[in-house]
Structure 1
Amino acid sequence: MDQPIVNREAARTADSPPTGGVPEDPELWAFLRALRPGERLSGAVVAIRRFGVFVALDDGPAHPVYPGVGFIAIPDLSWRRFESASEVVGIGQRVTGEFLYFDSWNGEARLSLRALESDPFQQFADDVPEGAEVAGTVTKVVPFGFFVRVADGVEGLVWREELSVAPTERPQEAVQVGDTVKVTVMRIERDQCRLLLSRSQ
């Protein structure tokens, strides 16, 4: 489907192509307009940027400006949390993604790797009931509590008030990143993909 967008991730750095829209290339536009949402497209990763990943597709013409016709935005790379796109894919890696839409501003096929994976949060919600006790790893400590990874791609928050320590104690005095802790599942919010936990006594 032809779906114009207003300038991709606005903040581009010096190593990025200039924005402003890509001049229409008849062969490329014909290829992109023939694609349908849900199709699977394969290719090789040719460039990794802070705003996403470019993929040289197996089929179709080359892009006149960008490294590849396929483009995967950061949120569409994976369900799991990561700091850099290079933690998920590497240059030269073969990937298959689901076609989302034709980005007519940049002349690209927007792809998603995540769309072809099952949602780990929903799987966790199916398998683990509220009130269950699970083990996890502390991934981040903040003034209001700490985050615990309870499954691959699933993290929950233990509020400061839910710590099994004195209320005045700071979270960083109770746990450290990397600690293994037992927590109780207090609430699962499927729509928001939010998991609230309590430190088990």
Structure 2
Amino acid sequence: MSLRELARQANVSASFISQIENDKSQPSVATLYVLAQLLNVSVDEFFGTENGASIAESRPAESSFVASGADPTTAWRPSEYANRISVEHPSHRPHLDMAAGVVWERLAATPEKAVNFMKVTYAPGASSSDAGSVQQHEGYEYGYVLAGEVEITIGGEIFVLREGESLGFDSRIAHTLRNVGTEYFEGIWFVHGHSH
């Protein structure tokens, strides 16, 4: 697919796609899902991996379950399960910076394509969609609020979740997340069952 055709189908400009490729602009969450669907890739592939290795080939940089006092940078030892275990230390966690102050941090990576497990951060006023638009995609989403508050519009219903509250919903229903508070919103998000 050409860059112009991708832009046309994503309903954005070709120059915007080029700016994303060159790290000069960031897409919204909704645009990211559209691009993943059009390119027939998992959203997880946008996180990339260190040294260009695939998710299955990359080994965890650190281990969070090491003996007390051990150096976490040297504690992980390859084993027969190396391709089936993912440990992400906060200092090495792959992340995506998106438009309007939205950041996704991958919490674990496995070869499973239909899963995204991440910490999400929204600056005050930040939204998952461009003004007036919504997103929908295959799968189910589950979220837990760590700090701040988030307004989630699902279909025609609006939910405002605060610290300690959680929800789950069918992602095929049009939805938008927006930080309506004055503090940063942080949450743990799990998207399962999407096909791209």
After TM superposition, the score normalised by the length of structure 1 is: 0.23
After TM superposition, the score normalised by the length of structure 2 is: 0.23
Bigger proportion of residues as helix: 2
Bigger proportion of residues as strand: 1
Greater relative CO (CA pairs within 8 A, separation 6+):
2
